[in-house]
Amino acid sequence: MENKKTKHNSSMVATVKRRRNSSTIFLVIFIGLFIAIISQSFMSNNANDAAPVELTFSDVLARSGEIETMKIHEDIATGTLRDGTKYKATISYDPEMLAKIAESGATITIDNSKSMMDGFLTWFPIILGLLFIFWIFRGIRGGVGGIGRSLMNQNPTKITTDKPKTTFKDVAGIDSEKQELMEVVDFLKNKEKFRALGARVPRGVLLAGEPGTGKTLLARAIAGEANVPFFATSGSDFSGIIVGLGVAKIKEIFEMAKRNTPCILFIDEIDAIGQRRNSYAFNDQDREQTLNQLLIEMDGFANDTGIIVIGATNRPDMLDAALLRPGRFDRQVHIDLPDMSGRNEILNLYAKRVKVANDVNLHDLARGTTGFSGADLENLLNEAALHAVRNGRDKIAPIDIEEARDKILMGPRKVRKMRPEDKKLTAYHEAGHAFVSMMYADIIDPIHKATIIPRGRALGMVQHLPIDDKVSMTLAEVRAQLSVSLAGRVSEEVFFGADKITTGAESDIASATRLARYAITTAGLSPRVGLAAVHQSSNFSGHSALENASEKTAELVDDEIRNWLNAAHEDAKKLLVKNRKTVEKLANELLTRETLTGDEIKQIVFGNKKTAKRKKSAKK
């Protein structure tokens, strides 16, 4: 073992010496040429201390009798006049003119020599070409793969090598995925148990999922649980402008892994080299050669090598089928965005790393972060910590959590000087959303808060806090959500008039249209369109079309979407007109306080009615 290390170290020393020699040769050549050019310029400047007089071509012809000497180099003439004045002129080569000047008694000489700069421009490319040929031949003398090794020395693969301390305790919110990968850990710890039964452990595991779901963290946790070396690299490290470099790098990293078995070999963003091959990619042969070498290396594993290749990608649909077949990436684990319980676990895990006040409710925070990945949740707590520090607090308070979530969802707070009428219209717009939401409180998610504080592009918004994660929506929920989405525009119409409506409902109308189209064309909730799935597809021009639909069906779909949106509009209008005073009260409270919590909105809308109902029920 010691001899191998000694040989490896001596080869590295020799490689370093060769690279230093090559660098020295280039450096000496450049310094020599630079000194020569500077010397020539210095000598020419010393030789011509007095600045010559600039003459035009017509001046030379007119003063031909005054010229004593003339030296011509290409189209530049220099010399002295009879009174000793030096001159310089740009002329054209004309034998008759030169003969006329010579008849006047001038001495004319023609200089056909080349300057140092001319020689530099002539010989420099030739010298570089010779040095490149010398470098190529030296690589060939280095044996098979000599050129590849030389290129890799100039462009090394970025490989992270260590034994991670991360374990499954550091990974939260993806319990089912961890269970899938426990067999890999068990194999790395107890190979004999699998060998006795004749079972073949997966040679490769593909982790697929949205960005930030914990693919890299999970790969490190596998190596940490098994206490084996962890080699990490990225798919982009195997691509380069030099053809064949990716193949050499694939060989290099797999040879390294074989010398350190058992181990984990992690390739992040594997779709950079593992994209599906096709007959039209004539200009991407290098990537295909790199992929072929990866397939060969993975297929060449023995069953008991102890090397587990883990690949991570956001786009598993782009990968080549040969890469996903059994014997290569046998197991594919899809990591979904965490559900509410998973988000709660992740928040509790990250909350141990920061100081959180006792009145912060992480369960409610998990409810209000639907669609957040693990990385998003970590970033949310970090933003909350930064906000707490800026405001002089030593612990994260609920107000810091609220500010961080609003900043991530809507953008940073904007300091805008709004006209009173714009602010009033925004308050009535959000009051419309909030009131109709309360009317459908038993169907849709409860309100968390309503605000008219501008953030990002939004002038205000009403936030809902889901009780749990929904996997589907009923027809009643879809209809109610459409009414809530259009309630802001309806409120503008009811309280300000049809000619005072604004563009502030742009995002509401867009989201309502998407929901209605999905319910009608995909979910089959429209009796008129029926159960036929008429999916939406995008073409290259950016316009959308309906798949497998005739023109008549497309017109029917458009007509049905308008009917649904019009019905939601009328439903919201009836509710707002009938409860006009309550909506006005809600809008005025928003104008006064700018932000209202869900409980405060509930008190304004239901207040005395709910109290009266409770008293009646108590008497009974």
Cis peptide, bond prior to residue 95, ω within 30 of zero: no
Q: Which of 430, 492, 560, 589 is catalytic?
A: 430
Q: How far, in Å, CA of 374 to CA of 269, rounded?
A: 18
Distance of CA 251 to the CA centre of its chain: 29
- Residue 262 CB: number of other CB atoms within 10 A? 19
**Burial of 469 (C-beta count, 10 Å sphere; 0-12/13-18/19+):** middle
Residue 278 in tokens = 């096709």
Distance CA 281, CA 9 (A): 42
Q: For residue 371, give the amino acid letter.
A: G
Q: What is the largest CA-CA distance in the chain?
A: 137
Q: Please give, one letter per residue, the 3-state secondary structure of 427-464.
A: HHHHHHHHHHHHHCCCCCCCEEEEECCCECCECCEEEE
- Give the separation between CA 375 and CA 381, rounded to whole angstroms: 10
Separation of alpha carbons 38 and 576, rounded Å: 86
Secondary structure E strands in 444-597: 447-451, 461-464, 536-538, 544-546, 595-597
Q: How many residues does the chain have?
A: 620
Residue 526 and residue 479 in contact, taking contact as beta carbons nearer than 8 Å: no
Beta-bridged to residue 218, according to DSSP, are none
Residue 492 annotated to the active site: no
Closest CA to 427 of 590, 607, 189: 590
Measure the CA–CA gap between 266 and 263, rounded to whole angstroms: 10
Q: In what order do the strands lie in the sheet with 331-335?
A: 160-162, 230-234, 263-268, 307-313, 204-209, 331-335
Show which residues are catalytic. 430
